[in-house]
Amino acid sequence: MILVTGGAGYIGSHYVLHERERGSSVVVLDNLVYGHREALLGTRLIEGDIRDRKLVEQVLKDFNVDTVVHFAAYAYVGESVTDPSKYYQNNVASTLNLLDAMRAAGVGKFVFSSSCATYGDPEYVPMDEAHPQNPINPYGETKFMCERILQAYDAAYSMRFVSLRYFNAAGADPGGRIGESHNPETHLLPLILQAARGKRDSVSIFGTDYGTPDGTCIRDYIHISDLAQAHSLAIDHLRRDGKSRFYNLGTETGHSVREVINLCSKVSGKPIPVVEAPRRSGDPPRLVASAARAKAELGWAPRFTDLEETIRTAWNWEQKRTY
Ligand code: NAD
Ligand code: UFG
């Protein structure tokens, strides 16, 4: 049995769907602070907090869990700067609590949601896993600290892990059943598509004076289904007795904010009003992954290599979303 923390959230819910569809048994632990019950499509939910040590140990035992996939965290970069306590508590202290509950219950396999935010400002692109890690905000710092904890727990307690460093998660279930729903929404793609639907007056472009071809920031937008698949492959790796590893997950292609807006306009067939705004602090100009290691070692093969197709899935969801 696989325990999925934060499984009612955006990335977690898509992973849960994928894992169930390949026949695995899954139970979700989520406090629904940001998650949605509807996104689970009937998967068993324990509504509770991963900081509740007794509850976590009980769930691990009751469901005979052998592997934990850990999505639960706060993920608003800006808020992590203004309220770092919230982030160190919920992303680091809670992860320690979860890991210690796993030790107590004898559960030794762990898949972790890490981020390219652990790298900070790029020294070179595409960025591979050997790129120096110098996070530039508390959010990235919390993910980096968890990675350090995981290495120490592996060395001392033989707890094996795979840490997946996602670049920018994007898109929705290609079948249109679930999709991205953050409240508040801060991610570029859903904000643009909401502007296309007329739910927002415009979308702001944060910075037009970067040293990129069109002056706007470049990101690597990886489809949510491809992210989901990588978690399953990470579990297979651990179940084959594979050693603890870090993997980047990205398409290895970058798109600027203006390019994303233009593609959204093409897909939706709607004009998208934009407002040119100042840079958002803490935004590196360009983040593009090298995912060669995940491809070579996990056999990961992303299906969505064309951003237009990824946007199509998000647009399909945006028009009929129920949560
Ligand atoms: P999300 O907010 O949609 O999902 C997080 C889920 O965790 C929510 O359902 C929330 O209710 C739950 N949660 C939070 N704290 C909890 C707690 N203490 N106990 C129980 N449940 C709790 O976020 P997401 O975009 O799906 O991100 C999932 C993970 O991936 C996070 O760890 C995030 O840091 C990481 N990540 C996201 C991105 C991205 O582009 N969205 C990129 C890199 C890394
Ligand atoms: N952007 C705008 N206007 C907006 C929102 C975003 O121009 O209204 C720009 C940003 O400046 C950035 C790009 O669009 O250049 C993407 O921004 P997002 O907020 O969608 O995503 P981020 O790159 O900031 O961060 C995301 C997740 C983090 C994660 C990070 C790296 O929010 O959790 O990817 O994985 F750590």
pLDDT digits (tens, 9 = 90+) for 22-62: 999 999 999 999 999 999 999 999 999 999 999 999 999 99
Ligand 2 interacting residues, C-beta cut-off 6 A:
75, 77, 115-117, 166-168, 186-188, 191, 203-206, 217, 219, 257, 280, 283
Could you give the CA distance from residue 300 to residue 12 in angstroms, rounded to a whole number? 18
Nearest residue to 76 (alpha-carbon basis) of 9, 18, 129, 17? 9
Domain spans in the chain, listed from the N-terminal domain onward: 2-170+221-249, 188-219+252-320
- For residue 7, the SS3 value is coil
Q: Ligand 1, atom 25: nearest CA belongs to which residue?
A: 10
Q: Are 4 and 71 in contact (CB under 8 A)?
A: yes
Residue 34 appears among annotated catalytic residues: no
For residues 287, 257, 113, 25, the Cα torsion angle rounded to the nearest 10 degrees is -130
DSSP letter assigned to residue 111:
E
CATH of 2-170+221-249, one of 3.40.50.720, 3.40.50.1440, 1.10.510.10, 3.40.50.10470: 3.40.50.720
pLDDT tens digits for range 102-147: 999 999 999 999 999 999 999 999 999 999 999 999 999 999 999 9
pTM assigned to the model: 0.98
Could you give the CA distance from residue 258 to residue 262 in angstroms, rounded to a whole number? 6
User: Which of 90, 186, 187 gets mutated to test ligand 2 (max ligand atoms within 8 A of its CB)?
Assistant: 187
DSSP letter assigned to residue 3:
E
pLDDT tens digits for range 148-183: 999 999 999 999 999 999 999 999 999 999 999 999
Q: Is 282 left (phi over 0), alpha (psi -120 to 50) or beta?
A: left
Ligand 1 interacting residues, C-beta cut-off 6 A:
5-6, 8-12, 30-35, 49-51, 71-73, 75, 90, 94, 113, 115, 166, 168-169, 182
Question: Domain 188-219+252-320 belongs to what topology?
Answer: UDP-galactose 4-epimerase; domain 1 (3.90.25)
